[in-house]
Structure 1
Amino acid sequence: MSELGMTWRNESLGARIRVALWLREEVGEGGTFSKARLREAIKGAEQVDRRMRDLRPAGWVISTYRDKPSLLPDQLYLEKIGLPVWEPEHRAAGLRQISAKIRRYVYERDGHMCRRCGVTAGEGYADEPGTRARLTLGHVNPHKSGSGANAEDLITECARCNETVRHLTGVQMTKEQVWDQMKELPVQGKRELLAWMKADRRPLSAAEKAWGMYRQMSAAVREELEHDLEALMRS
C-alpha cells in the first residue's frame, strides 16, 4: 500500500492500525487526548477503545489519570509510540490469540456471566435502562502487558466491566463508597461477602448456573424454556 494510503483516514485499514496512525499523526509522543476525540475520529470502528489497548503489548505506552495524576479523568497521555503496527511485519505484534476451545471453556467455567458484576449475556443493566450486556473475555490481571491467553489468565466479563476495570472509563467508586455498601448488608450478607473475598471468587448457585446457560439461548428457545418450567411447576 502506498504511503498516501497509510493514514488513519483510510477506512479500509483495520481499526487497530487506524488508531495507531491517528495517535502518531494527530497526538504524537508527549501529547494528550480523550477517548471521545478518538471515537470521533475513528467513527464506525468496532470497539475502538479496545483496539487502542491492544497497542500496549506492542510497546505503546498510554497513561491514564491513575498513572499520571496531572491528567484529568477523561484524559490519556501518549508517553511512547511502540512498534509500527501498520507495517506488515508488525501487524500481529502484541496480539494475543484466544482459541475457540479456550474461549468456550472459560465461558462455561464462569457460568456464562460476568464474574465482576454477575450480569449475563443480553441481560439489561439496572442502572442503564435499555442497555443490554454483551459478554467478552478479559484478563485476570488487565494491567499486565502481554499477559497470556491461557484459561487461568482469562475471566468472563461484560463489555462494561471490561472497559471499567482497565481504568479507561469514568471515575471509579472510592473505598468509602464501597464500604458504605458493605456496612448496609445484613449479617448473613456480610458473611457471604467475606467468604467470597477470602476465596477471591463468588461461587454460583445451581439456579445462577442455569440462568447463565438460559441466557445463551435464542429468544424463541428462552420462551419455550420459560413455558416448560411454568408447566413443570404447575404439575
Structure 2
Amino acid sequence: MTGSEGLLVDVVWTNDKLGTRIRVALWLHSEVGEGNRFNKQQLRKAIPGIEQVDRRMRDLRPAGWVIKTYRDMASLGPDELYLEKVGTHIWEPGQRSVGLRTISGRLRREVMERDNHRCVRCGISAGEEYPDESGSHARLTLGHVTPHKHGSAAQLEDLVTECARCNETARHLTGVQLSAEQVWDRIQELPRREKTKLLTWMVADRRAATETEQIWARYRQIPAAHRDALKKQLGIALGSGS
C-alpha cells in the first residue's frame, strides 16, 4: 500500500456517511493492522455513538477477517481482541456486500439444534476447552457447506455448526499442527473398529455424535444453576444405585 493510499484510508474511516461495517474495517486496517491487539473501548472511541458497533466488527468474519477473542486465545484479556488477518477490503468498489449474510435468528437456532449445538468438524461443544490448547474455549458459529455461498440467502442445508477454529483455514489454526505423516502414524495405531469409525467421519466430513454426547451438548446449553442441579441429581441417582 502506498503512502497516498494510507492517507486515504486514515481519512475515510472517520467518514460518518459510510456504513458502520465499512468504517470498522477501515479502522482495523489502518489503525490496528494484522498481528496486533486492540480492545473494544478503542473501537467505541474511534467510532462513537453507534449501537452494536461490536456486532458490525463480528460481521467482518464471513468476509475473511480473522478476529480472535480471549475464548480463542488464552493470552488475551476478556476485553482484548487480536486482528490475525485482514480479509476482503469491503470498502473497495464491488466488495461492499462480500460476507454479508441473510441468516435469521430462527434459521441460526434450527442449524444449531440440528447439529446438537456441537461443531460438526471436531465435535466440541460451546464453551468447552480445546484438549490441545489449555485455556482456550470453543465458540460456535455457522459455516457454509459451500464457501462461495457466503453472502447468499442461505438455507438450512447450506449451513453447518462449526467452532471458530474449524471455521477458519488450517493456516489460521492456533496450537501445534501435526503433519499428514504424523496423523497417519496415529491412525495406524487405532484398532480396526476405531479406524472404521474414523473413516465414516472422514467421508461425512463431520463427527457423528453418540446419544451421550448429544445429551452433553444439550446440557451445556442450559443455565449454570440448572446444570449444577442436574449434576447433583445424577450423582444422587448413581449413588443410590438407581
| Contact persistence 1:106–1:151 (CA under 8 A) | yes
Whether 1:178 aligns to 2:177 is no
Structure 1 outlier segments of 4+, above 6 Å: 74-81
Whether 1:121 aligns to 2:131 is no
C-alpha spacing 1:121/1:205, structure 2 compared with 1 (3 Å) = same
CA offsets, 1:172-218, max 9 Å, x none?
64322332232222221101111222344332111111000000011
Q: Which residue of 1 aligns with 2:35?
A: 36
Determine the C-alpha separation between the residues in 1 that align with 2:87 and 2:101.
24
Whether 1:133 aligns to 2:143 is no
Unaligned runs of 5+ in 2: 1-8, 44-52, 65-83
Q: Which residue of 1 aligns with 2:100?
A: 95
Pairing 1:1-235 to 2, within 5 Å after superposition = 6-7=12-13, 14-20=20-26, 23=29, 26=30, 35-37=34-36, 39-40=37-38, 44=43, 46=54, 51-55=59-63, 82-83=92-93, 94-142=99-147, 145-164=150-169, 167-169=171-173, 173-233=178-238, 234=240, 235=242
Determine the C-alpha separation between the residues in 1 that align with 2:14 and 2:188.
50
Q: What is the TM-score when the length of structure 2 is the normalising length?
A: 0.64
CA offsets, 1:53-87, max 9 Å, x none?
4446xxxxxxxxxxxxxxxxx876979963377xx
| Contact persistence 1:147–1:153 (CA under 8 A) | no
Say how many residue pairs are matched: 201
Return the offset for 1:19. Answer: 1.2
Determine the C-alpha separation between the residues in 1 that align with 2:202 and 2:188.
15
Q: What is the TM-score when the length of structure 1 is the normalising length?
A: 0.66
Q: Percent identity?
A: 41
